[in-house]
């Protein structure tokens, strides 16, 4: 999701270019070359029963599903490295080839597609790695009667909290329908925004402190990186909000009224995230302004010191220059005394007088600067 | 609501992170560790009767409520430190666990949730402490037939004016239904924006004066702090406006037409607050521009002084340098007279002539500066 | 509407804080302490009859109104200094206490409230005083069958043109219903925006001229003042536009189709005002940019002069410094001749040579500056 | 449409103040004092017949119109200098006084007013004169059954191309109804935007070239003038677009479906113009930024030269100053030799050594500057 | 699509002025003078049959089409150099003259026009040439029952991928109706945005690197060029999105539900492109800010060096100036010893003392600079 820059900063990528060239046929199911070997996990449950299995063969999976027609089945496909398997999935579960293309073409916007017999939901999972790298995973979900199929590119256990809740049997999860499982998974994805925003909030605060304290060029780098990340987060959460809203308004029977109450909660969360992202965007804009003002401010500081030093010493240097002139008190040819030529040089207190005069000048100048506020710190 | 910065300025927090981790079950009623011990206040009234009681036991409360089925009961729960009690509230009054989670998860947006038998209203109370700290409290309210339940995290007597009006028996409050009490509480919350905006208005005015007078780096701090606070106020009042609008448009029987006339008044107030916040936002943006222009302006001032001093003295210093040169009027080896080598030095009026020439030069330069406007103050 | 600043500039107020504290009962009719003594003017007319009376007693007014049930009655209340009278108005004309609170709470947005038997219209009158102060008066109006009641805080004769038209009996005014009088009054209020905008237009033009000519710090003041005033005008005219639109779309019988044709004309005027205010806002933003660029430009000018002077004289000063060095042509201890130590000083044309060299140097530098365009004016 | 500024630049006017004072009666038909003497042109045509006449008398015109009830009549009134004639027009053709006021009040927004028996269309004609002055003429049109009445303030032959097409009899114009003539006239007005935008495009391009080349203060003038003109064009074309859209959606019989196909083409053109104006607005904003960056850039250039010269010569001047000190190698009172006092001055290669040292210093400094990139052009 | 600038940079054109003058008759089919000689390609296919032919004569084409009434016919006209042929097309296929004018008037916005018996679609093809020039071709399409007619100005084989897919017979293309071919062609056009955006993304990244590294004036050029191109792309893709949306919502039978599923995919792509273009726009705005801050930053660097050198050497130069003064220790006339006149000059360690003092001064100054952070790199 990011590329290394020369100066050690990383830059996130705002998207991943499509692998297909313009004009290619739609619905091409061509996994990436470095796609992971797929694995299939199945959780079959109802309020009194739970079984977790792992399959490598689609046929065995179908047999298993047939055995539990009245239980909820959560089928997870992780890794897209087997094109034949993906096509079998299409055939077995009635997935449109365009949908499967979206599943493996790993940079869709969050969206809901609403079909007669199933819902197709694309979700993005944004979160931070341990090394402060943003991860931007895609998670696709098919909701059918009693069946939830989820697709993930990697084996990441993003949804372990949901799995734990399923196993524990507490709460509504086990006693609800497949739509509630869908809600639980989406809610988990939206919940990941909050720790992310907390990180951004802290970064913005420490940047602000630094900008008011000792700003440096690296701050600008970090402002720009934060801006880029917030552009990505903002774009994603807007689409996410629209998606959840679509789910709330769908006429499909697949999502029950009871679950819609919970989805409304998720919707509230997306609104909260959007509010915060917008606020952060405004704050980042003003951090940029503060940075620019800091650059100007430091220039002012430097110029003030230069101006004070110059303004004090340039006149003094002129004065000592005057008494460094070689006007002669005697005419070299006639030897006549020239009384107008710098008599100060021969006065007993000439030197002392000049030094005292210069001292007074410096004091007067400092007083002027002090009154003009040039000697203040800010 | 705010954190202390190194430079003594405080920074408000734009939100409070959720305590639950991503994927946690929804509707978890887990109070914060430092939550206050709850207390229950009940005000039971109709146009001729008023009684204020305090309960510690929910069962006793329910008995009391059963005794006054035709009176208005205002139940206040202050402090969320007892999870068992909160769950009892859910059970006793038919509050959804998601709603109770919103009540204690202390950073919801203002919103209205409209159910068949009750309305759930979340409101934010923004106001300033004595020490210029913004307080951002949440206030949740359930409106049922003849029953208003309010939830507050602290014992703050934010609604004392309403209590006083209830006790006095004047106005419509005692003779109206529970919806009017709801209106009175919400209106009180919205009213708190006005003194807040008055404070911001005064701050903006004094900042503007300072920026036009003697701007310093601290102004930037204050601009940024105001910006942050206005971001918070703006976000909150937008949601508040939407909420009041939802209440005006609700089809629920719980809010009567008579009360909607009053809510329209509250709606007008939220619009007025929004108008002002938008205006303040524009003014703050221009204060930033004025600050930046002031920084540039001061740089100009400093550079002008430097330029005047330098431009006057650098040529003078050159001239006295000329007459400090040691060109000899006699050839050291031959002793021959070298008449071309600085005869001025031996002229009787050489020194006087140079001094007069330099004086004239200074006067000419000052005239040029004066005509160029460099000697003007601005 | 404005406060005096230290620097002699006035600053308009964007609003007037409410007098009531948060949580106070709604519909409180408490006039300001300095409210004027009320006076009641009544104009009763139809196409053949007109009578202008002045009342101090509401009862006498009611008797008068009863005598002219089929004529149009325009009742004007000017000055809100008598609370009892205001309450009598509420009772006599069926005015809701919230409306009366809006009437005297002198900072409402323009709005239309549409009730079964009357319309309540709040209008703001923005115009300039002779001393360039903006005045922002409120004007509230009740329209009932054959009756128009208007409320103004002061005795200002803002609507004299309408009165004159009424008296003259020309035009539609006398032969139309109360809705047309309402239109005439509102149209008069909207018309006041045009001279205001003309003043702003002229101010912007003269500011622009000054910024391109000789900008000074005072321009920034004036830009900021204009910005503030336009923020106020913009906010007001937006609400005014919405209000007139509401009147065009009202289903109330109180406004006839014929009058709506005229209101559409007023609506066009509010749109025109909004267009102009938006344009002025854009122009003011670019004036700010021009001001900032002017500050930079003047800095450039100053720096260029400094740079030219310094760049010419610093090398010259170095050269004369070289020939001011005291390297001795004789060894003081041995008296030996040291031919390498500054033989130029003893060359017959040393001084002349150095002077010519420096002259050439200056000419070369001036040529370089001229080619670089530093000697250009801009 | 523009006023002369002191610096020779012209400034366009964004509007023309209304002549009537606030509160004046609506529908006042008072021509401007300098209005032109009116002339009436009539073109009567059908697919096989065309006749162009000129009238001075309305009665004769009415007789002519009665003679051709089944032909299309295009009545043009040019010049509004005769109030009586305008009022006769109102009476003869059923024109509302408010409409006639809009016709002569020469600064309306483009708009459509849709009445039962006629449509009233106001259009603005924006184009450039030969001397680069923008002209902003108003053109009002009444469409009735078989009758098109157009009003123009001047005798300008803006619509000659349409007249030529009418005479030639080619195309649809002669064989279509009055709505098609209306379309042809409006389309001609909208077409005028394209050459205007072409001029702006060229101006923007040449400004950009100049800003990247040798920017000067005059560029800022031209940016500001262009901005003002685009503000005017934008405002006008937005209203024009709305107007054409209203015509497309009108339920009036006066515009047939066939003509709406053509109006859709005009609508497309207004959208294209708006797109371009928006693009130009963005480009102008970035030209302003480029100008500001150029000012900073030139300051940098100046400062770099100053810094290089100063940094090279200031240390050198110090060094030669050192050897200009008068420390004596003999004590004047005792005549004792003081070997520590500047023995360099008496060393045989002292002068040469100092000169070489300074040369090395200069070379080292130049190397440092070269490596820092200060000697680069940009 | 672009013009060469003096400095070697190219500037894209935002539009191509219309060739017709204001007021010209609509629907004029006048090809450009340099239009290419037209060629007609026909592809006739169904699921089992495919034939590609080339015609020069419209009559032969019509005969061919009559022979394959139940097959899909894709007629391509490339090159508009023959006005007679274009008019024959209008007649033969029932194309409105306004549509044909749009086809050859080569700068339409993307749009859908929805007629009873056909759809008219205008699409823009944006892509990069090998020499980094943007190409902005227009592509018009008529969809009728079993017939797709496409118009292109040049012989460019933009749609070769679709042709290849047709020939191969794989996928849905051959077995679907004319609407699917339309979809395939439009999708191919939209797909071209992705490589374009990839190029912009890389350019932005490398610009950012350069701005943080060694920014120069050329960067500003490239920022401005990118801005211009993105303005064009943004405008185009917005219209494209609206067009695809119109196709999704059309009630026309010509586009089947099955194809709409595919068009929704295309719609998603336009949304994705818009999202990215918006993100790029924001990034470009911040690149401008970074550029401006870099200019300021470099000025700071230069000024800091100047200030350090000046502040160190100016006082030193003053000191050596002091000891260059010629105050005499003997009165030239009396020969009296003047002990107050610069006794340092005759002190044995005077010179050493001064040198040491200056060294200490330099060290102290460097320490101060170091503590102020002036010696840091940033």
Neighbours of chain D (3+ CB pairs under 8 A): C, E
Domain count, chain A: 2
Is pLDDT at C339 greater than 50 in this prediction? yes
Segment D9-24, tens digit of pLDDT: 667 777 777 667 888 8
Is pLDDT at C366 greater than 60 in this prediction? yes
Percent helix / strand / coil, chain C, rounded to 5: 50, 15, 30
Is pLDDT at E194 greater than 70 in this prediction? yes
The span from the CA of D157 to the CA of C253, in Å, is 47
- What is chain D's alpha carbon radius of gyration, rounded to the nearest angstrom? 37
Beta-carbon separation of D311 and E317 below 8 A:
no
Q: B365 and B256 in one domain?
A: no
CA E251 from centroid of its chain's CA atoms: 35
On whether residue D20 sits in a domain, the answer given is no
Segment D118-164, tens digit of pLDDT: 999 999 999 887 777 888 889 999 999 999 999 999 888 888 889 99
Beta-carbon separation of E218 and D378 below 8 A:
yes
In D, minimum Cα distance to C187 occurs at D23
In B, minimum Cα distance to C12 occurs at B205
More confident residue, D278 or C296: D278
Is pLDDT at D342 greater than 80 in this prediction? no
Mean pLDDT across A159-174:
88
CATH number of the domain encompassing residue D274: 3.30.460.20
Is pLDDT at E356 greater than 80 in this prediction? yes
Q: pTM score, two decimals? A: 0.88
Helix pair angle (A217-249, E193-212), 10° resolution: 150
Contacts of B161 in chain C (CB under 8 A): 21-24
On whether residue D22 sits in a domain, the answer given is no
Q: A158 and A56 in one domain?
A: yes
Least reliable range by pLDDT among B327-336, E28-37, E138-147: B327-336
Is pLDDT at C237 greater than 80 in this prediction? yes
The span from the CA of D276 to the CA of D270, in Å, is 10
DSSP class per residue in B196-260: HHHHHHHHHHHHHHHHHSS--HHHHHHHHHHHHHHHHHHHHHHHHHHHHHHHHH---TTS-HHHH
Q: E243 and E337 in one domain?
A: no
Which residue from A326, D117, A163 is spatially nearest to B347, judged by alpha carbons?
Answer: A326
The span from the CA of A118 to the CA of A104, in Å, is 19
Planar angle of CA B117, B120, B123, nearest 5 degrees: 160
Mean pLDDT across A148-152:
95
The low-confidence residues of chain B, meaning pLDDT below 70, are 1-10, 18-19, 377-378
Q: D337 and D270 in one domain?
A: no
Q: Answer for the pair A107, A138: CB distance below 8 angstroms, yes or no.
A: yes
Q: B285 and B218 in one domain?
A: yes
Mean pLDDT across E69-88:
92
Beta-carbon separation of C346 and B331 below 8 A:
yes
Q: D352 and D282 in one domain?
A: no
On whether residue B311 sits in a domain, the answer given is no
Q: Please report, rounded to a whole number, the percentage of residues in chain E having pLDDT higher than 90.
A: 49
ipTM rounded to 2 decimals: 0.85
Contacts of E173 in chain A (CB under 8 A): 25
Q: Answer for the pair A157, A188: CB distance below 8 angstroms, yes or no.
A: no
Of the candidates A15, A113, A299, the beta carbon closest to that of E303 is on: A299
Beta-carbon separation of E324 and D327 below 8 A:
no
What six digits make up the tokens of A26? 């739609």
Q: How confident is the model at residue A254 (pLDDT cuts 50, 70, 90)?
A: very high
Of the candidates E3, E98, E320, the beta carbon closest to that of D322 is on: E320
pLDDT, position D1:
46
Last residue of a domain, one of A293, A322, A353: A293
The span from the CA of E133 to the CA of E79, in Å, is 22
In D, minimum Cα distance to C293 occurs at D292
Is pLDDT at E1 greater than 50 in this prediction? no
Nearest-CA distance D53 → chain C (Å): 35
In D, minimum Cα distance to E284 occurs at D286
The span from the CA of A162 to the CA of A207, in Å, is 36
Backbone angles phi, psi at E211, to 5 degrees: -65, -35
Beta-carbon separation of E191 and A24 below 8 A:
yes
Q: How confident is the model at residue A372 (pLDDT cuts 50, 70, 90)?
A: confident
On whether residue B5 sits in a domain, the answer given is no
What six digits make up the tokens of D159? 């619509």
Mean pLDDT across A174-186:
93
Is pLDDT at D4 greater than 70 in this prediction? no
DSSP class per residue in C171-234: SSTTTS-HHHHHHHHHHHHHHTHHHHHHHHHHHHHHHHHHHHSS--HHHHHHHHHHHHHHHHHH
Last residue of a domain, one of C252, C267, C294: C294
pLDDT, position C214:
80
pLDDT, position E286:
92
Give SS3 for C257. Answer: helix
pLDDT, position C142:
95
Q: C165 and C290 in one domain?
A: yes
Mean pLDDT across E101-110:
85
Q: C303 and C219 in one domain?
A: no
What single DSSP character describes residue E105? S
Nearest-CA distance B183 → chain C (Å): 10
Mean pLDDT across A319-335:
80
Mean pLDDT across C205-212:
91
Give strand pairing partners of A46: A49
State the alpha helices, DSSP H only, in chain B: 58-67, 83-93, 97-104, 160-168, 178-191, 193-212, 217-249, 257-322, 350-372
Q: E330 and E284 in one domain?
A: no
Contacts of E224 in chain D (CB under 8 A): 208, 286, 290
pLDDT, position D267:
94
Residue B50: which H helix or E strand, with range? strand B49-55
Beta-carbon separation of E310 and D315 below 8 A:
no
Q: Answer for the pair C225, C95: CB distance below 8 angstroms, yes or no.
A: no
What single DSSP character describes residue E337? B
On whether residue D35 sits in a domain, the answer given is yes
Mean pLDDT across C277-305:
89
On whether residue B218 sits in a domain, the answer given is yes
Q: How confident is the model at residue E19 (pLDDT cuts 50, 70, 90)?
A: low
Contacts of D191 in chain E (CB under 8 A): 18, 20-24
pLDDT, position D256:
92
Contacts of A282 in chain E (CB under 8 A): none
CATH number of the domain encompassing residue A368: 1.20.58.340
Mean pLDDT across A87-93:
92
pLDDT, position A5:
57
What six digits make up the tokens of B121? 């209203």
On whether residue B315 sits in a domain, the answer given is no
What single DSSP character describes residue E18? -
pLDDT, position A188:
92
CA E90 from centroid of its chain's CA atoms: 35
Beta-carbon separation of E345 and D324 below 8 A:
no
On whether residue A7 sits in a domain, the answer given is no
Neighbours of chain A (3+ CB pairs under 8 A): B, E
Last residue of a domain, one of A293, A308, A324: A293
Contacts of A341 in chain B (CB under 8 A): 345, 348, 350-351
The span from the CA of A200 to the CA of A234, in Å, is 13
Segment D45-55, tens digit of pLDDT: 998 999 999 99
pLDDT, position B295:
84
Of the candidates D261, D299, D324, the beta carbon closest to that of E98 is on: D261
Of the candidates D109, D313, D325, the beta carbon closest to that of C314 is on: D313
Q: Provide the Cα torsion A105, A106, A109, A111; round to 10°.
A: 70
Segment D205-219, tens digit of pLDDT: 999 999 988 888 889
pLDDT, position A1:
46
Mean pLDDT across C25-53:
89
C–D: how many Cβ contacts below 8 A? 189
Beta-carbon separation of D22 and C290 below 8 A:
no
Of the candidates C17, C235, C288, the beta carbon closest to that of B198 is on: C17
Q: To the nearest whole number, what is the mean pLDDT of chain D? A: 88
Q: To the nearest whole number, what is the mean pLDDT of chain C? A: 88
Q: To the nearest whole number, what is the mean pLDDT of chain A? A: 88
Of the candidates A22, A221, A325, the beta carbon closest to that of E191 is on: A22
Q: Answer for the pair E313, D314: CB distance below 8 angstroms, yes or no.
A: yes
Q: Exposed/middle/buried for D57, CB within 10 Å: 0-12, 13-18, 19+?
A: exposed
Which residue of C150, C215, C332 to mutate against D (max D Cβ within 10 Å)? C332
Q: C274 and C215 in one domain?
A: yes
Q: Residue A144 sits in which domain range?
A: 26-293
Beta-carbon separation of A173 and B214 below 8 A:
no
In D, minimum Cα distance to E115 occurs at D261
Q: How confident is the model at residue E112 (pLDDT cuts 50, 70, 90)?
A: very high
Segment C350-363, tens digit of pLDDT: 888 888 998 999 99
Q: Please report, rounded to a whole number, the percentage of residues in chain C having pLDDT higher than 70.
A: 96
pLDDT, position D351:
83
Q: C234 and C92 in one domain?
A: yes
Is pLDDT at C98 greater than 60 in this prediction? yes
What six digits make up the tokens of A203? 């970064």
Q: Answer for the pair E340, E331: CB distance below 8 angstroms, yes or no.
A: no
Which residue from C146, A129, C309 is spatially nearest to B318, judged by alpha carbons?
Answer: C309
Q: D166 and D100 in one domain?
A: yes
Is pLDDT at A2 greater than 60 in this prediction? no
pLDDT, position C11:
76
């Amino acid at each position: 999701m990011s590329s290394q820059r020369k100066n050690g900063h990383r830059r996130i990528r705002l998207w991943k270019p499509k692998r297909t060239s313009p004009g290619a046929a739609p619905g091409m199911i061509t996994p990436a070359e470095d796609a992971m070997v797929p694995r299939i996990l199945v959780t079959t449950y109802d309020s009194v029963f739970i079984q977790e299995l792992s399959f490598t063969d689609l046929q065995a999976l179908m047999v298993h599903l047939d055995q539990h027609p009245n239980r909820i089945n959560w089928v997870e496909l992780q890794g897209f490295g087997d094109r034949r398997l993906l096509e079998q999935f299409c055939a077995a579960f009635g997935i449109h080839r365009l949908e499967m293309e979206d599943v493996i073409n790993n940079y869709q916007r969050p969206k809901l597609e609403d079909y007669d017999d199933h819902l197709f939901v694309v979700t993005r999972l944004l979160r931070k790695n341990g090394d402060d790298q943003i991860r931007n995973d895609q998670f696709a979900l098919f909701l059918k009667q009693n069946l939830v199929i989820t697709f993930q590119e990697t084996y990441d256990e993003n949804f372990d909290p949901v799995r734990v809740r399923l196993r524990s049997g507490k709460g509504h999860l086990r006693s609800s329908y497949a739509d509630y499982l869908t809600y639980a998974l989406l809610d988990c994805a939206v919940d990941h925004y909050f720790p992310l925003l907390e990180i951004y909030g802290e970064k913005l605060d420490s940047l602000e402190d630094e900008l008011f304290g000792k700003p440096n060029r690296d701050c600008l780098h970090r402002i720009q990186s934060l801006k880029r990340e917030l552009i990505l987060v903002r774009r994603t959460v807007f689409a996410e909000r629209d998606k959840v809203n679509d789910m709330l308004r769908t006429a499909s029977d697949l999502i029950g009224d009871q679950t819609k109450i919970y989805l409304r909660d998720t919707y509230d969360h997306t609104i909260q995230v959007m509010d915060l992202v917008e606020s952060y965007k405004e704050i980042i804009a003003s951090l940029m302004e503060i940075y620019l003002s800091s650059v100007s401010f430091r220039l002012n500081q430097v110029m003030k010191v230069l101006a004070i030093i110059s303004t004090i010493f340039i006149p003094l240097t002129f004065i000592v220059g005057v008494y460094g002139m070689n006007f002669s008190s005697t005419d070299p040819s006639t030897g006549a005394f020239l009384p107008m030529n710098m008599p100060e040089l021969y006065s007993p207190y000439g030197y002392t007088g000049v030094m005292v005069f210069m001292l007074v000048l410096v004091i007067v100048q400092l007083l002027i600067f002090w009154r003009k506020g040039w000697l203040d710190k800010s």
